[in-house]
Structure 1
Amino acid sequence: MSRASPELSGYCKYFLPHHCVLKEDSTTTKLRVVFDDSPTPDSGHSLNDVLMAGPIIQPKLFHILIRFRTYPVALTADICKMYRCVRVTSADSYFQCILWRDSPQKDIEIFNLDTVTYKTKSASFQSVRAMHQLAFDERDAFPIVSDAIKQDSYVDDLISGANSIAEARKFARRLGYCLVKTSSFESGVPVTKKVVLFKGADVEIHGHCDASVEAYGACIYVVARSPLATSRILCSKSRVAPLKTLTVPKLELCGAKLLASLMHEVKRTDIFVRQFYCWCDSSVVLDKR
């Protein structure tokens, strides 16, 4: 945030209402300033009305979580004040002006917000895009960290892992000082829903679907054939039957479609490159006519 000089105050295009939110039990940020970009001025358009949201450029959360479960050591982190780490151009800062004075006895001053502001429509895209650009620019120096930022980050949360505690600690140090709430877990500690025990085994992916008059669903298992046959559930999805009454064969077809979509998303992660099998006990679904 920078003070706008009196001779440049005429360049201010939009003023943001703001107020504080105090959270005394917070361990990181006890006082937060909230800006509102939606109020409509006399022009008839708010700042968010004229901003574009930008495309979604980060991986699906489903893909991130599936990849996260394959690491022997899990590592999570949070980027500290992510939006405040991304600077906007000087010209754009005049669309993010605020009025402020330290006390009622002082004159009102104008300040420009020089970084991305939370709750603006484009804030999420701008921050993620800047993070991806940083990962691209520094890939030669930090290849592992660069890949993790692009593949294992969801907005300001990093959900990644490593093959050992030592590697996880090295990884965490290279992520930089701007990360908070960093933690890691070794697979020997009771962390639930891990599928990493199949490392080095002959792995197959098996999906099952079923339906009843009340609901239909699908689940996918990771099966290791060596040295001993072992299976773990990877993911599942279910749907309540529509209010409009459908026959069980039609619901079985809905379950099969749900399984096909779920299996497609698992294949898109490019984690499992072995055989994929889909199973169903409905003769209607299996009928090739």
Structure 2
Amino acid sequence: MVQIKSLEKRLSKDSVLYKRYAHTIQDNPDKGYVIKVESRDDKHCAGREWYLPHHPVVNPNKPEKVRSLLNGPSKFQGVSLNSVLLTDPDLMQRLIQTLMRFRQHQFAVSANIEGMFLQVGVLPAEQSVLRFLWREDPSRNIEVYQYTRQIFGAKDSPTCANYALLRTARDNNSHFPEAAQAVSQKFYMDDYLDSTESPSIVQKTSRDLIELLNRGGFKLTKFISNVPGLLEELEDKSVEQAPK
């Protein structure tokens, strides 16, 4: 209760932020990322519950986009969610290796997986430890919500998301061998960075990579490339053309 009232006090000082954050909270159930837990609803609880404080996070470059960050390190009676979660193994590529491959050849492409954590499901038996409280109107009753996906703020989310990404590549390696290799070597978390000696290779790998990731529920977007015509071919409205 103390945490939710503190959040409401903070949001009451910025009506624009309050409105955008409320929209983010309301949008998550519509996308299937969150479910509302009705009172005395035992079907969404596996015998243990954990309630996480949360707050808005704003990217200075995209002030209109507000993300909800759950406070995994927050402690109750000396225990936090993150203190009981495992993080190994580290499945991320080393950043220096990813950047060196990106600078290796003349023709380059980059892209981003949209909402990567939120595309990876959490087992129903584990979801009840990802609960949070919210009410859009302070005069109303507080409601309980529960995440069904990996959250921002839990220390195991990067490992779980990376495993799902790599497993998608492995499961589809026979159909898309080059794209599967790109997933294992040319991603740094949700960012794809690649370069090749041929525009045709960039085009084929990009097309295959989109289809491969779609099979795992991931959407590759925000393409940037110096390959002429690539962005138009991919028909992504959010892409940007890199300067020549």
What TM-score, normalized to structure 2? 0.69
The one-letter code of the counterpart of 2:56 is: C
Structure 2 residue aligned with 1:17: 53
1:31 to 44, 66, 78: 66
Identify which of structures 1 and 2 has the higher relative contact order when contacts are C-alpha pairs closer than 8 Å and 6+ apart.
Answer: 2
Contact 1:23–1:30 under 8 Å retained in 2 = yes
What secondary structure does 1:91 align onto? helix
1:69 is aligned to 2:110:
no
Structure 1 pair 157/93, CA: closer, same or farther in 2 (3 Å)? same
Alignment of 1:1-289 (within 5 A): 1-6=34-39, 7-8=41-42, 11-23=47-59, 25-26=61-62, 30-42=65-77, 44-176=78-210, 178-186=219-227
Question: More strand per residue: 1 or 2?
Answer: 1
Shift of 1:133: 0.5
Contact 2:180–2:209 under 8 Å retained in 1 = no
Q: List alignment gaps of at least 5 residues for structure 1.
A: 192-289
In the alignment, the residues of structure 2 paired with residue 97 and residue 190 of structure 1 have an alpha-carbon distance, to the nearest angstrom, of 45
Stretch deviating more after TM superposition (156-165 or 87-96): 156-165
In the alignment, the residues of structure 2 paired with residue 166 and residue 41 of structure 1 have an alpha-carbon distance, to the nearest angstrom, of 55
| RMSD (Å) for aligned C-alpha atoms | 2.5
Shift of 1:87: 0.6
Shift of 1:140: 1.3
Alignment length, in residue pairs? 188
Larger of the two Rg values belongs to structure: 1
What TM-score, normalized to structure 1? 0.59
Contact 1:35–1:117 under 8 Å retained in 2 = yes
In the alignment, the residues of structure 2 paired with residue 23 and residue 124 of structure 1 have an alpha-carbon distance, to the nearest angstrom, of 19
Identity %: 27
Structure 1 pair 190/77, CA: closer, same or farther in 2 (3 Å)? closer
Contact 1:172–1:182 under 8 Å retained in 2 = no
Structure 1 residue aligned with 2:11: none
The one-letter code of the counterpart of 2:137 is: S
